[in-house]
Amino acid sequence: MSMLNKAMDFIKMYYAENDLPEEQMNQRLGEVEQQITEHGHYTHTTDELAYGARVAWRNSNKCIGRLFWQSLQVKDQRVIIDEEIIYEKLLEHIDFATNDGKIRPTISIFEPKKVRIWNHQLIRYAGYEQEDGSVIGDPDSLAFTKQCIELGWQGNGGQFDVLPLVIQIEDHPPRFFDIPQEYIKEVPLRHPEFDWFADLHMKWYAVPMISSMKLEVGGITYAAAPFNGWYMGTEIGARNLADEYRYNMLPIVAERMGLNTTSNSSLWRDRALVELNVAVLFSFKEDGVSIVDHHTAAQQFKRFEVNEASADRDVTGNWTWLIPPLSPAATHIFHKQYDNTKKSPEYSYQKSPY
C-alpha cells in the first residue's frame, strides 16, 4: 500500500473512532494528500500521533497487557534532533514512567527518520564474555555491550551493570551517555518464606522500556519511539533470570531449596521456578513497584477481549507469546485460538543499527 493510502486509512480511522465531525475529516484528508503529493510525506498532529501510538499498542499481538492501551502517555519529542537533548528527554521518560514505582505506561516519539536509539531497552544489564566462554551479566546483551565498549564505555564487569544510552543522529557516529544512578529503580529479590533467598543477590530493574522497535502510523515510520508498560512477573522470574541462556538461576535456587537436581522427575526446575516467581512478585509488591502476576494479567486480557468485541473490533493475537511461560493452561488464553493478522498502526522489529 502507498503512503497516501495508508495515511488516508489512518486519518479516517482516527476521525471515526474519536467521533469527530466529517467536514473536519475531509479537510484534513485534503491537507494530508497535498502534503504527500508535494513532499512525499506528511506530519501528524500531536493528537493523531498519540492516538496512533495507543492503537499500535491495542494491535500488539504479542502483548497480554493491552487492556490499558488508552492510558498510554505520549510525549511528542519530534522537534529534537540533538544527542544531548535526546539524552535529557530519555532521562525524563525514565523518571516519568518510573514515577517512584507507580509505573506509568509511556512512549516518547522522536523525529521519524533522523534519530536512532541503539539500546534494546533504555535500562538493561550488560553481558561480558569471559575467557572460558562463560558470561557475566545478561548474555542477551553481549553484542550491544561490545558496541558500547568499542565506543569507549567502561563496564564494571559485574552481573547487573546498567548499560549506557546510545543515541545516533542520521549518519553521525553514535554517542553514549551514562544513566545517573538516581534514575535507575531496581528491586532486590527476597522470598516471603526462604530467608536464604536474599543471599543470592538477585535483582531486576523496575521498568521495561523497549527502545529498539519502530512505530508505524498511517504510513510514517518512527524509528525512535521508546515505550514502556510494567512487568508481568514471569518475564523476570520465568525468563530473564531462569532461561539457561539468560541468568540461568534455577539450578542455584533448586540446590538452596534442597531439591534433587539429579532427577528430572523430582520436578526441581518447576518447583524452583514457582519460588523464584513468588520472590519476584513479593519483592516488587513490597517495594511498591507496579507488577502484575500472570493470572491477573490473563483476566485483564479477557476484559480487553470483551471490550474489543463490544466496540465491534476483532482481537488479533500471537498465541505463542500471549500464553504465560508459567502454568499457561491455568489461563483461558491457552484454551483458545488467536488470529495473528497484523494491523496498522503497529510496533514492529527493525534492522539493528550495529
CA angle, 262 as apex, 256 and 265 as ends, to 5°? 100
Q: How far is the CB of 320 from ligand ARG (least distance, A)?
A: 14
Q: How far is the CB of 208 from ligand ARG (least distance, A)?
A: 4
Nearer to ligand ARG, 192 or 325 (CB): 325
Say how far apart CA 268 and CA 273 lie, in whole Å: 8
Q: How far is the CB of 279 from ligand ARG (least distance, A)?
A: 16
Q: How far is the CB of 37 from ligand ARG (least distance, A)?
A: 38
Nearer to ligand ARG, 7 or 64 (CB): 64
Say how far apart CA 117 and CA 204 lie, in whole Å: 22
Q: Grid coordinates standing for 321?
A: 507469546
Nearer to ligand ARG, 262 or 349 (CB): 349
Helix (H, G, I), strand (E, B) or coil at 275: helix
Q: Grid coordinates standing for 56?
A: 499500535
Q: How far is the CB of 282 from ligand ARG (least distance, A)?
A: 18
Q: How far is the CB of 191 from ligand ARG (least distance, A)?
A: 20
Nearer to ligand ARG, 36 or 148 (CB): 148
Say how far apart CA 154 and CA 343 lie, in whole Å: 42
Q: How far is the CB of 149 from ligand ARG (least distance, A)?
A: 22
- Residue 133, classified by CB atoms within 10 Å of its CB into exposed (0-12), middle (13-18) or buried (19+), is exposed
Nearer to ligand ARG, 77 or 234 (CB): 234
Separate counts of helices (H) and strands (E) for the chain? 10, 16
Sheet holding 115-117, edge to edge: 115-117, 165-169, 175-177
Q: Grid coordinates standing for 156?
A: 564494571
Q: Which residues bind ligand ARG (CB under 6 A)?
A: 208, 210, 229, 231-232, 235, 240
Q: Grid coordinates standing for 249?
A: 538461576
Nearer to ligand ARG, 210 or 315 (CB): 210
Contacts of 51 (CB under 8 A, 6+ apart): 14, 17, 18
Q: Are 217 and 112 in contact, with CB atoms under 8 Å apart? A: no
Annotated catalytic residues are 63, 66, 230, 235
Q: Give the containing element (helix H, strand E) for 203.
A: strand 203-205
Say how far apart CA 205 and CA 197 lie, in whole Å: 18
Nearer to ligand ARG, 28 or 246 (CB): 246
Measured over the CA atoms of residue 178, residue 179, residue 181 and residue 182, the dihedral's sign is positive
Residue 118's closest CA among 175, 53, 75?
Answer: 175
